[in-house]
Amino acid sequence: MERLKESDLYPPLKSFLTGQGYEVKAEVGACDIMACRDDAGPVIVEMKTRPNLGLVLQGIDRQAVTDAVYVALPAQSVSGRPGRRFRKLCRMLGLGLLLVHLKAESSWVEALLDPGPYKPRKDKRRQTRLLREYQQRVGDPNVGGTNGARMTVYRQHALRCAGHLARSGTAKVGDLRASTGVDRAATILQRDVYGWFERESRGIYRLSPRGEAAVESYAAVLADLDAAAEPRRVADDA
C-alpha cells in the first residue's frame, strides 16, 4: 500500500473550500493552504498525515495572521483516545480541525471543529472528588511523577483498620469504626480490595496473612497515621 502524503489531502480540501465560495491557493509563504472570500480575513489550513506537536505549533504560529486557522488530518489518524485528546487540544488552542476522508471512489472533508475561544465546562463532581481526596489524605506520602501503587485516602483508611486489628486480634465493625475514626470501615472490610481482612463471624473481622504482611511492610506509614490521629483522640477525650 502506497504511503499517504500530505499532498493527497490537498485536492479534497481545495474542493471543500472552493465549494464554500473561497479562492484557494497552496504554499503561500509558510502556509500549506490559504483561502480568501470577498473582504473577509484569510482562512489558513495546515496539513499533516498524523497529529503531532509540529502541526499544533504551526497552527499557533498562523494565529498571528488570522483567527481562522485550521489543521487538517486524515480522518483515520484522529481516532480512539489519542484522537479525542488531540481534538480537545485543538479546542483549547482555538484551532479548527478538518478531517479528510480519503476513499477510492470519492473523498470528502468533515469540519469537526471551527476556530473559536475555548470555554471548558467545569466538572463539579470531579472537583469535589479531588478536593475530598486532597483534604482527607494524611501528609504527602507519594512522590510526584512516579508510577506504581499510590497511597490514597482509601488505602490509608484500610491501613488504619488493619493496624487496629493487628493490635486487637479481632474486632466488631462498630468498635473498629469508633476506634479508628474510619466511617466507611464496614465497606472497606466487606469489599476487601487488598485481601487484608477475613470475616471470623457476623460483624467480626481479623487480619488475613496478607494483612499481617501489609501491617509489617507499612509500619512506618501506620506510625505516621497514628501520630496524625493522636490530636483527634486527645480532643475527643477532653
pLDDT in tens, 93-103: 999 999 999 88
Chain centroid to CA 204:
39
Q: Cβ neighbours of residue 28 under 8 Å, at least 6 residues apart?
A: 34
150-229 domain in CATH 1.10.10.10? Answer: yes
In whole angstroms, how far apart are CA 79 and each of 70, 86, 92, 99, 107?
A: 18, 9, 18, 11, 18
Model confidence at 232, pLDDT cuts 50, 70, 90, reads: low
In whole angstroms, how far apart are CA 167 and each of 68, 179, 228?
A: 68, 12, 18
Whether residue 231 has pLDDT greater than 80: no
Whether residue 66 has pLDDT greater than 80: yes
Contact 4, 74 (CB under 8 A): yes
pLDDT, the chain, mean: 89
CATH class of the domain defined by 6-113 = alpha beta
Task: Please check whether the two domains, 6-113 and 150-229, share a CATH topology.
Answer: no
Chain centroid to CA 19:
38
- Domain spans in the chain, listed from the N-terminal domain onward: 6-113, 150-229
From its phi and psi, is residue 27 left (phi > 0), alpha (psi between -120 and 50) or beta? left
Whether residue 238 has pLDDT greater than 60: no
Pairwise CA distance, residues 113 & 121, whole Å = 17
Whether residue 156 has pLDDT greater than 50: yes
Contact 35, 45 (CB under 8 A): yes
Read off the DSSP letter of residue 76.
G
pLDDT in tens, 114-133: 998 877 678 899 889 999 99
Give the pLDDT confidence score for residue 166 in this predicted structure. 94
pTM: 0.63
